[in-house]
């Protein structure tokens, strides 16, 4: 059984993960309109992953005697300043999520909820990967700079990755 405090914190996290999914979905749509097909495929996939993160939390809350709440979501920005800005925002978003996960881990220790603490380790590991991925993308974009050919290849590489992931 989860305590009310932990249940509330997990429900807040459900909303955060769902919001991440929403933001990445808006970014995906923007990228698709820019004909950045690989970036769009990457972001659509990422949006799905965030939805899975929210669902995983919801299932856990209900399994542990709580009640998972479906959150209301704000409208994410429609337009982006550019591709660099998109990946900067992703990194910022992921760093924030890591901080939020860490504070729930901290709360679990204070509440002596070792079961939820154990469950959250999956999210701790996932956040390392999410931050690493966002940083790698940003590094690549920094290398490319204003080179249009480089951006074309970057996008094509992502399209290949998306096709492989769905194979």
Structural contact between residues 131 and 98, judged by C-beta atoms closer than 8 angstroms: yes
Q: Applying CB under 6 A, which of residues 43, 97, 108, 120 lies at the interface with ligand OFO?
A: 97
94 touches ligand OFO by CB under 6 A:
yes
Q: Applying CB under 6 A, which of residues 6, 47, 53, 64 lies at the interface with ligand OFO?
A: 53
Is the Cβ of residue 35 or residue 74 nearer to ligand OFO in the bound state? 74
What is the distance between the alpha carbons of residues 43 and 48, in angstroms, rounded to a whole number?
9
Structural contact between residues 25 and 81, judged by C-beta atoms closer than 8 angstroms: no
Is the Cβ of residue 45 or residue 144 nearer to ligand OFO in the bound state? 45
Q: What is the DSSP letter of 76?
A: P
Closest distance to ligand OFO from the beta carbon of 51 (Å)? 9
SS3 74: coil
Rg of the chain over Cα atoms, rounded to whole angstroms, equals 17
Structural contact between residues 1 and 111, judged by C-beta atoms closer than 8 angstroms: no
Per-residue contact string for residues 109-148; x = within reach of ligand OFO by CB under 6 A: -----------------x---x------------------
Question: Could you list the residues that contact ligand OFO (CB under 6 A)?
Answer: 17, 20, 50, 53, 93-94, 97, 126, 130
């Amino acid at each position: 059984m989860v305590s009310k405090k932990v249940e509330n914190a997990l429900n807040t996290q459900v909303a955060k993960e769902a919001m991440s999914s929403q933001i990445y979905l808006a970014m995906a749509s923007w990228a698709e309109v820019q004909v950045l097909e690989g970036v769009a495929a990457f972001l659509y996939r990422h949006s799905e992953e965030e939805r899975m993160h929210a669902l995983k939390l919801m299932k856990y809350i209900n399994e542990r005697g709580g009640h998972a709440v479906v959150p209301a979501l704000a409208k994410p920005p429609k337009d982006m300043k550019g591709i660099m800005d998109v990946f900067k925002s992703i990194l910022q978003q992921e760093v924030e999520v890591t901080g939020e996960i860490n504070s729930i881990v901290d709360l679990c220790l204070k509440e002596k909820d070792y079961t939820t603490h154990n469950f959250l380790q999956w999210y701790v590991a996932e956040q390392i990967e999410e931050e690493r991925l966002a940083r790698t993308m940003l590094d690549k974009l920094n290398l490319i700079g204003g080179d249009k050919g480089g951006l074309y290849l970057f996008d094509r590489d992502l399209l290949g990755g998306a096709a492989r992931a769905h194979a």
